[in-house]
Structure 1
């Protein structure tokens, strides 16, 4: 039984009470906002391009600058929350994010919008580690905390479900700036309610602030994240290997400095705990699997099946709903069985989902069922892994531990698109057989992406040729999906093996 080996301070910890649960509701506001924001901008990009007329490089930076800055600052902001107060960092982040979002909504040029997105990354890095680390201090009793984290994880799933639907509705009725303005009505209630219901918490014995560590963490994460994106767009013959090398060198310098400091920004001893490191890797690979699946399923639904973005979002709702249900339903199961059994069993559902997609993408109902199975596995695994990350770290270091978890999430999202998306793009180009008689310019655009092929087909006067191009592009894309799905299944299997070998009983998560 899992509960028999809980640390004494977690068995006897007081219940959170009604204020704690209301605090959870308040903390869900930024979680929902950030998860919606992750998907909604892609729907607004065509209108932004028409309005601001950015260059191709500026258009990439509108998308890329936010996750680059966010990933680079997560560890720093999590540590600052431990030092100066997690609620304080949450309120500063919410104020800045809402203000900059409002300004970005009316940006007159692409350059100013890029600057606004960069500042949103700074303030966004203050939000997410704060929400998760505050749960650690509010819900000290293990079972309550596990359920609270399940709700927190469900917020991400709900936001992902709402993103296409909210984006489609806003862009149908308002200008592109509306996708940024929605941050204001979400975060204003947080700013009003959090001071009353969310208690402050911090590390009682923080070390001194180390600017060199901050710069080294930025110099580690930014080149790695940017390198992954370059690899996806340009392939291995690009700046990607050099960027990876730069990130690794600065990462080594960061680790060396943390080991030598009396009070490091990030306690590297956390990674010597098998449960902590194992849960981080499970988090990372699970998100790679989820985002990679969404990447090709969203394109298939819209560009092959022909659904609108909003209808495609509704088609994915069953899977996202089951992800939420699984995250909550796994809580009583996790009380009875150890995580080394529960997490691999949950991830088995996701493996089956990928295998189903590899066998056939022709049936819309099969895709919906497959995504539902994927959601069950990821929802359950994410709840347990996030709870283990917090439980295995000392309470005083909850912000730093949460930041590492969030960094794994961001890296997983980038890798899911870049790695699985890059593999899919490579197989698409290799398998594409263009119909005879296609103009050179149209052929070049069709070879780039499935979206390019579909867009070009609508400009052709010869309808039989256009239909032949659409069929050829769909066949090439779905051929790539088969290979990508098998690779995705392999990654989830690796996550399951890691869980089975590292996520032991709760003795490994003791906070003593």
Structure 2
């Protein structure tokens, strides 16, 4: 690997390396798929295990919480004891936890199994990404490899509900977990043959207090923002976020005084690393927030059924997937910096178009804008991921990969919560002067709080109420405001990132056309 983005024209990958990449990508697909595969299985789980409302929430969320909480620890552990070794141990744990989840006889057992799956899953993303840095020394090839790796994540999110739906049609709900086991067994068999081992012999022992502080930082923050997104903003939800930030400050102070820190803070003194991390987080922030609105818009404003909304979303999803496979061509042809900056501008244009389409309640406009966003977003995220890993020293690639994945988790959670809250504020302001005198207090409160509440209340009325159109306009206006804010912020981010990248002196000519 090269420092500060310089190219390496030797050591081109062979068949063994490319086969290894596809094995790693399948593991990533399973890891990503487990984030969404439960969506369609929940009714069957509710019928079988009868979880309480709180247990149902934890069944859904605990996997993502554990992944986010353990990414940094597992990434650093891979640097210390061996990336391939951590990946293989994680595969064993993932398979065992999948079996435990599949045969759960109670809601408590399923929650524990999903938590263990999350911890095991946290070994996959940083280990696979850092191993890619070892497999592909040439920067042009590494860009292509990261594109394949990113495609696996994208496909996992797309096919998760589809695979779950097919399995649930013919088998019981536990089958959505059993499909993980043969993939992990395959990984255990072929990984020792295809994947190199890499570890930093001078990394020292893992500091357990840092691990605990890391978990106590990430988990409360993610928890707070996820609840803001699910329940709307309330001041009490800032308490776990504040606790996480305070513990985070203690974590940073401890890292400064350790000989072998869990996170090497010197990575943030590499300009290209810091700029790429900032851009990556911002891209995740806005795209997750915007697509939350889009999914609700299709069903609540346009009145599409969940199936029709899913079918209409296929074209943008295909653009995302195709771009994941092809993004490396842009990076290799134009260089990482120009690809990132151009992608940010295209992304800004896409969300600006989305603002206009949302305000005018246009189905084709929203879908077309979503495709334009994909054209800019995918190259930005994959190229910045490559820069984050490529600009870090080889012995810290696992830690850098984990930081990248953790920032993506934070970015997505923050985007959904912050933009969701802003949209809710606009909606409630719009509904503030609406005459709801025909409703009882509970119905009026529900209709004034969210569009989902308004739609449900409207279904109880004998005729479609006049205020429902105002509610839809309020949601559309909030959607448009968030998109307009995203567009301006992304353009400003492009200006700031350009200045940082110029100071980083990245060698754009080091990237070979492929």
After TM superposition, the score normalised by the length of structure 2 is 0.89
Q: Is the 8 A contact 1:393 1:509 kept in 2?
A: no
Cα offset, 1:74, TM superposition: 0.8
How much has 1:273 moved relative to structure 2? 0.7
2:52 to 40, 55, 76: 55
Equivalents in 2 of 1:52, 1:434: separation in Å? 43
Q: How far is the alpha carbon of 1:322 from its aligned partner? A: 2.3
Match of 1:391 in 2: 390
| Partner SS for 1:408 | helix
Structure 1 residues 429 and 170: alpha-carbon distance in aligned structure 2, compared to 1, 3 A threshold: farther
Task: Describe the shift of the 1:238–1:118 C-alpha distance in structure 2 as closer, same or farther (beyond 3 A).
Answer: farther
Q: Distance in 1 between matches of 2:260 and 2:158?
A: 41
Using the TM superposition, give the Cα deviation of residue 296 of structure 1 relative to its aligned residue in structure 2, in angstroms. Answer: 1.2
Q: Which moved more, 1:500-509 or 1:256-265?
A: 500-509
Q: Does the Cα contact within 8 Å between 2:271 and 2:503 map onto a contact in 1?
A: no
Q: CA RMSD in A?
A: 2.8
Secondary structure of the 1:15 match is coil
CA distance in 2, matches of 1:151, 1:215: 33
Among candidates 347, 350, 353, match of residue 347 of structure 2: 350
TM-score (norm 1): 0.89
Structure 1 residue 271, shift from structure 2 partner: 0.4
Contact kept, 8 Å, 1:132 with 1:402, in 2: the verdict is: yes
In structure 1, the residue matched to 2:235 is: 238
- Contact 1:457-1:470 within 8 A present in 2 as well: yes
Q: Deviations over 1:83-106 (max 9, x none)?
A: 111112112222222322232234
Q: Give the Cα separation in 2 of the matches to 1:43 and 1:509.
A: 47
Shift of residue 164, structure 1, vs aligned partner? 4.0
Show the counterpart of 1:317. 314
* Equivalent position of 2:15 in the other structure: 18
Q: Does residue 496 in structure 1 map to residue 494 in structure 2? A: yes
Mapped contact 2:205–2:260 kept (Cα < 8 A): yes
Using the TM superposition, give the Cα deviation of residue 463 of structure 1 relative to its aligned residue in structure 2, in angstroms: 4.0
Query: Structure 1: how far apart are the matches of 2:100 and 2:87?
Result: 20
Structure 2 residue 76 is matched with structure 1 residue 79: yes
Q: Determine the structure 2 residue equivalent to 1:485.
A: 483
What's the counterpart of residue 64 of structure 1? 61
Please, which runs of 5 or more residues in structure 2 have no aligned partner? none
| Superposition misfits of 4+ residues, deviation over 6 angstroms | none
Between the aligned partners of 2:311 and 2:501, the Cα distance in structure 1 is 35
Distance across 1 between alignment mates of 2:496 and 2:364: 32
Instruction: Report SS of the residue matched to 2:263.
Output: coil
CA contact (8 A) 1:71 1:125 kept: yes
Q: Closer, same or farther in 2 for the Cα pair 1:288/1:171, shift >3 Å? A: farther
By how many angstroms is 1:122 displaced?
Answer: 0.9
Unaligned runs of 5+ in 1: none
Is 1:291 equivalent to 2:292 in the alignment? Answer: no
* Pairing 1:368-447 to 2, within 5 Å after superposition: 368-432=367-431, 433=434, 437-447=438-448
Change (3 A) 1:182 1:477: farther
Deviations 1:191-244 (A, max 9, x none): 332222222222232212211111111121112212223444566643333323
Alpha-carbon shift at residue 410 of structure 1 (Å): 0.8
Change (3 A) 1:413 1:37: farther
TM-superposed deviation, 1:469: 6.7
2:196 aligned counterpart, secondary structure: coil
Looking at structure 2, the residues matched to 84 and 134 of structure 1 have their Cα atoms a distance apart, in angstroms, of 13
* 8 A Cα contact 1:391 1:509, kept in partner: no
Shift of 1:282: 0.9
Give the drift of 1:82.
Answer: 0.8
Bigger mean CA deviation after superposition, 320-329 or 435-444 = 435-444
| Equivalent position of 2:200 in the other structure | 203
| Counterpart Cα distance in 2 of 1:381 and 1:140 | 21
Q: Which moved more, 1:54-63 or 1:213-222?
A: 54-63
**Corresponding residue for residue 132 of structure 2:** 135
- Residue by residue over 1:23-74, the C-alpha shift from the partner in whole angstroms, topping out at 9 and shown as x without a partner, is 1110111221232233333444444444434333333222332222221211
Number of aligned positions between the proteins = 503
